[in-house]
């Protein structure tokens, strides 16, 4: 396994897969990961750590930021033994395995193992997420109404 | 002054053991799972996340189970837990214009671009008990329709274009954080919104209702109410760029309020803002009304002495954990305090009796 150079790993693409891994359902991610075979050798640069992130909103949706409340987040950083590639993860919730798997996937996506991770992990996760979002959007669309204002009175 | 007491360890342990048994209820019935609470008591879970000020549905569901359904006790558990977590940082402000809306309604514009979407609402139900729910094994199935693509614009944006509503110019100021610095007055709007977002729903409901009944009336219309999922993005220092760290459901309410102008501001519509974790519609509308009432000073309105205008009154009494902590502590042993009170009363009475004897 070899690491791809910095330029070869597109930041936009990396943002996308890290976000997908962060939002993934932990049990679905674990099942897909197990199906991909043995976990590659790695060191934990940062063992999975559970913490909080303060979520901000904006007054009036567009104005000055304010602190809305916190959410739980678990983070992890790994280095692959074979090539030294570093992977990071910040994932929603408190599942340590979720964070470690996401960090490993982030590292592998920067190596020539990327197509295998894309097929076995990212594509199925993206498909599940798209299907879930589409399902909610379609149920919402079925509740779209047209209100009619009625003219009342004699004249 | 509160003086500590010792003893009672066995009674306390036994009381807690009995509490655990009562929590379990009839052991011949199945034990309630945390996942069941999360999925089927979702609005209770949302309230606990909002007022516990920590977005984590599984934790909120666990807290509700542990608290036997006492939501303020559950919120207390969440608040205690969150203090144990290291803070990794703060997110970028969430973009509610990009929300995937489950529900989106406007009470001000019938033909609002993007449409009126009712979502999974109690509105227009008849509030009749549904005895069919008492039977088990019902799996409802919601109808579907083709979904339009893309995000739905904010209603206030349309009024903004005509210059008829007070604008909310974007800034990148770092907001104050009442979980780090004690809440002090005067509190700017960012601090007030943080306090209101985690405030007790019942307290805000009562205050908001008081403004509708005439105590600092501000003629609120729900310009828009939207509920749905938004991405949470955070800048990651070790990466040097921002990534999405998750997705949360929030309820946002923007009120449009009549405003005839003041010494400093022209006649225009003004705004109140509510933003709350989860599907929490009542709380979000109440928050928007109270936010608007608290803005009297910056809009050049008169202080008419209404409770909802009084930032000290609202902000110092809106937190149900502070309130219940102080309220409930008076049931704990106060024997020493009370002994001294007793002594004082006896002494005063002795003085009066001695005086009465003296005049005879």
**Cβ separation of B275 and A68 shorter than 8 Å?**
yes
pLDDT tens, position by position, B212-229 = 999 987 889 999 999 999
Q: Is the ipTM of this complex over 0.85?
A: yes
Helix (H) or strand (E) holding B26: none
What is the crossing angle of helices B42-52 and B71-82, to 10°? Answer: 50
**Cβ separation of B116 and A145 shorter than 8 Å?**
yes
Task: For residue B243, give the nearest of A18, A67, A149 by CB distance.
Answer: A18
Task: For residue A15, give the nearest of B172, B193, B243 by CB distance.
Answer: B243
| Residue A152 predicted with pLDDT over 80 | no
pLDDT tens, position by position, B254-296 = 999 887 777 777 788 899 999 999 999 999 999 999 999 999 9
Tokens describing residue A23: 């939002």
pLDDT above 90: percentage of residues in chain A? 85
Which of B106, B201, B98, B110 is closest to B153 using CA atoms?
B98
- What residue ranges do the domains of chain A occupy? 6-141
The pLDDT of A78-92, averaged and rounded, is: 96
Task: For residue B232, give the nearest of A11, A55, A77 by CB distance.
Answer: A55
Tokens describing residue B181: 């610095």
> Rounded distance, CA B267 to CA B128, Å?
44
Q: HEC states along A21-34?
A: HHHCCHHHHHHHHH
Closest-CA residue of A relative to B57 is: A93
CA distance A17 to chain B (A): 9
pLDDT at A114: 95
Cα three-residue angle B236-B237-B240, rounded to 5 degrees? 85
CA distance A9 to chain B (A): 13
Query: Do residues B270 and B254 make contact, with C-beta atoms less than 8 angstroms apart?
Result: no
Closest-CA residue of B relative to A59 is: B273
Residue-averaged pLDDT of chain B? 91
**Cβ separation of B87 and A53 shorter than 8 Å?**
yes
pLDDT at B30: 95
Exposure on the CB side of residue B130, measured as CA atoms within 13 A: 9
Task: For residue A22, give the nearest of B172, B238, B246 by CB distance.
Answer: B246
> Between the CA of residue A99 and those of A95, B127, B231, B312, B328, what are the distances in Å?
7, 44, 18, 42, 40
pLDDT at B70: 98
**Cβ separation of B247 and A92 shorter than 8 Å?**
yes
Q: What is the largest CA-CA distance in chain B?
A: 96
Chain B residues touching residue A72 (CB < 8 angstroms): 54-56, 59, 85
Give residue for tokens 């005879």.
B360
Q: Given pLDDT bands bounded at 50, 70 and 90, which one contains residue A32?
A: very high
| Residue B211 predicted with pLDDT over 80 | yes
Tokens describing residue B262: 């003041």
Burial class (CB in 10 A: 0-12, 13-18, 19+), B161: exposed
Looking at the DSSP bridge assignments, the partners of residue B35 are none
């Amino acid at each position: 396994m070899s690491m791809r150079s910095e330029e070869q790993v597109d930041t936009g693409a990396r943002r996308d897969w890290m976000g997908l891994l962060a939002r993934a359902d932990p049990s679905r991610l674990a099942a897909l990961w197990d199906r991909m075979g043995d976990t590659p050798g790695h060191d934990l640069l940062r063992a999975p750590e559970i913490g909080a992130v303060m979520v901000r909103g904006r007054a009036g949706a567009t104005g000055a930021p304010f602190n809305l409340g916190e959410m739980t987040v678990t983070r992890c950083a790994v280095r692959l033994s074979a090539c030294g590639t570093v992977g990071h993860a910040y994932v929603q919730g408190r599942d340590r395995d979720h964070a470690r798997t996401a960090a490993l996937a982030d590292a592998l996506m920067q190596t020539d193992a990327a197509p295998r991770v894309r097929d076995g992990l990212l594509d199925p996760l993206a498909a599940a997420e798209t299907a879930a979002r589409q399902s909610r959007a379609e149920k919402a669309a079925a509740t779209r109404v047209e209100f009619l204002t009625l003219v009342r009175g004699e004249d | 002054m509160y003086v500590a007491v010792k003893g009672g360890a066995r009674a306390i342990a036994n009381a807690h053991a009995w509490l655990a048994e009562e929590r379990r209820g009839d052991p011949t019935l199945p034990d309630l799972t945390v996942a069941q609470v999360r999925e089927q008591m979702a609005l209770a879970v949302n309230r606990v996340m909002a007022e516990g000020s920590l977005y984590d549905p599984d934790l909120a569901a666990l807290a509700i189970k542990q608290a036997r359904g006492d939501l303020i006790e559950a919120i207390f558990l969440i608040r205690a837990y969150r203090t144990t977590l290291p803070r990794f940082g703060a997110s970028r402000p969430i973009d509610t214009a990009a929300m995937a809306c489950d529900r989106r309604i406007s009470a001000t514009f019938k033909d609002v671009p993007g449409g009126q979407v009712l979502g999974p609402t109690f509105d227009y139900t008849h509030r009749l008990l549904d005895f069919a729910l008492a039977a088990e094994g019902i799996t409802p199935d919601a109808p579907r329709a083709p979904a339009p693509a893309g995000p739905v614009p904010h209603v206030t944006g349309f009024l903004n274009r005509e210059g008829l509503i007070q604008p909310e110019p974007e800034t990148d100021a770092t907001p104050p954080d009442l979980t780090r610095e004690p809440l002090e007055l005067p509190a700017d709007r960012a601090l007030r919104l943080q306090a209101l977002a985690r405030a007790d729903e019942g307290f805000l409901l009562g205050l908001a209702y008081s403004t509708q009944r005439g105590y600092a009336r501000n003629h609120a219309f729900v310009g828009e109410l939207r509920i749905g999922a938004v991405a949470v993005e955070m800048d990651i220092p070790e990466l040097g760029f921002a990534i999405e760290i998750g997705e949360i459901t929030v309820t946002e309410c923007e009120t449009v309020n009549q405003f005839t102008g003041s010494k400093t501001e022209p006649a225009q519509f003004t705004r109140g803002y509510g933003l709350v974790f989860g599907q929490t519609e009542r709380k979000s509308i109440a928050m928007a009304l109270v936010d608007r009432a608290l803005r009297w000073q910056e809009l050049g309105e008169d202080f008419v002495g209404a409770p909802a205008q009084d930032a000290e009154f609202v902000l110092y009494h809106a937190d149900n954990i502070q309130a219940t902590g102080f309220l409930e502590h008076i049931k704990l042993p106060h024997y020493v305090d009370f002994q001294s009170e007793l002594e004082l009363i006896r002494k005063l009475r002795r003085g009066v009796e001695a005086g009465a004897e003296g005049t005879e």
